[in-house]
Amino acid sequence: MEQLPHNRPLWNIHIIKYPTSNAAGNIIFKLHHSLGDGHSLMAALLSCLQRADNPSVPLTFPSLTSAPNPNLSVRGTSIFRNIPKVLRSAFNTVSDFGWSLMKSSYVEDDISLIRSGNPGVELKPVVISTMTFSLDDIKQIKTKLRVTINDVITGIIFLGTRLYMQGGSNKLNNEHSTALVLLNTRVIQEYMSAKEMHKPVAEKVWGNQFAFLHVSIPELTSLESLNPLDFVWKAQKLIQRQRNSGAVFLTARFLEWLRKFKGPEATAKYIYNTIKNSSMVVSNIIGPVERMALANHPIKSLYSMTVGEPESLTITMVSYMGKLRVAFKIEKDFIDPEKLKSSIQNAFGMILKTAQDIA
């Protein structure tokens, strides 16, 4: 593309004073991705906000806890017993990183009901729609299945997507589809204020510091004997393998190497092809537990979305005040937003009911 003019701002703020059934108005922060990734920009945004009940008290965020893993017990282990794990991890690292390079260069997903494969899809009109889930319900599933919240959410998204891809057909439609899951690669996971970001350590947390996982969307094996919890467990297994393989670290270092030695154009091209060859992009951001206010105006809800990527479906999630806001950016006139949300809602109901039935 042409170089962005230096007199053109990298951000816009739109205040829409039009009351709807959901809120008295809306504020849209439109930010160029060169400013930073979701973590950086959310941290900057939070610096403009205060707690609605007590502005002098800082906002708090959900704790980051992992699911218990019985295989990580240290007692009774020896160096010889860990050798197979180390070798398996090394093999998975090479395999997953190699697969990531191939997916970003040569291997494309199948054309499906969620991937049009149209050239120039990033320039086509889009529709943005949202839906909300209760975090208490998601935590209930998490506790029953002894998994993480991310495992539950990913399982719901994967099952709902597969149900949508059926298109009402009784015949299984299991096109090869992968989700590109974006991950924050910072050592410091907590948000920092704008003032803290100006300190010397800020260069370690500000900017675009992310990598991605290529996670295959599990296939439906049967419509009649479908166990919805299988999608949560499969999501857990896929994400754990990718996280533990070291491929995320190598991907992050590879992107940094591209930027330093090949330049930003080569890096942008690599990321463009990575997104183009996948079926959808998935990312999430952690929001505060308490209600926020902007200039004394209470904020009822918020969500984020990236635009301009070469794919037909992007899904983002933001937690806020005990709710999970899920946003969908879809290629207009290709994906039906209401049918997709209905499929996701059905998947959530199926997983929740099956989990509640566990003794």
Residue 347 placed within a domain: yes
pTM here? 0.87
Residue 55 placed within a domain: no
Bridge-based pairing of strands 11-16 and 26-31 is: antiparallel
CA distance 232 to 347: 11
Provide the pLDDT confidence category of residue 325 given band limits of 50, 70 and 90: very high
Residue 318 placed within a domain: yes
Alpha helices, DSSP H, located in the chain: 38-46, 79-105, 135-145, 149-166, 194-197, 229-245, 247-257, 264-276, 337-356
Q: Output the pLDDT for position 74.
A: 44
CA distance 235 to 237: 5
CA distance 57 to 73: 39
Which of the pair, 205 or 273, is modelled with greater confidence? 273
Q: Which two tokens stand for residue 1?
A: 């593309």
Looking at the structure of the chain, the number of domains it has is 1
Residue 70 placed within a domain: no
The whole domain housing 182 covers 87-188+197-289+299-357
Residue 2 placed within a domain: no
Residue 325 forms beta bridges with which residues? 132, 318
Which of the pair, 173 or 236, is modelled with greater confidence? 236
> Position of tokens 């990575």?
274
Residue 145 placed within a domain: yes
Residue 30 placed within a domain: no
Per the CB < 8 A criterion, the answer to whether 286 and 150 are in contact is no
Residue 132 placed within a domain: yes
Report the range of poorest mean pLDDT among 138-147, 176-185, 309-318. Answer: 176-185
Q: Which two tokens stand for residue 220?
A: 């439906």
User: Domain of 315: which CATH number?
Assistant: 3.30.559.30
CA distance 46 to 183: 20
In DSSP notation, 173-217 reads -----EEEEEEE--S--S---HHHHTSGGGGGTSS--EEEEEEEP
Residues above pLDDT 70, as percent of the chain: 88
pLDDT in tens, 219-272: 887 777 788 999 999 888 877 776 677 777 888 888 889 888 988 888 888 888
pLDDT in tens, 261-294: 988 888 888 888 999 999 999 998 888 999 999 9
CA distance 95 to 112: 26
CA distance 202 to 200: 5
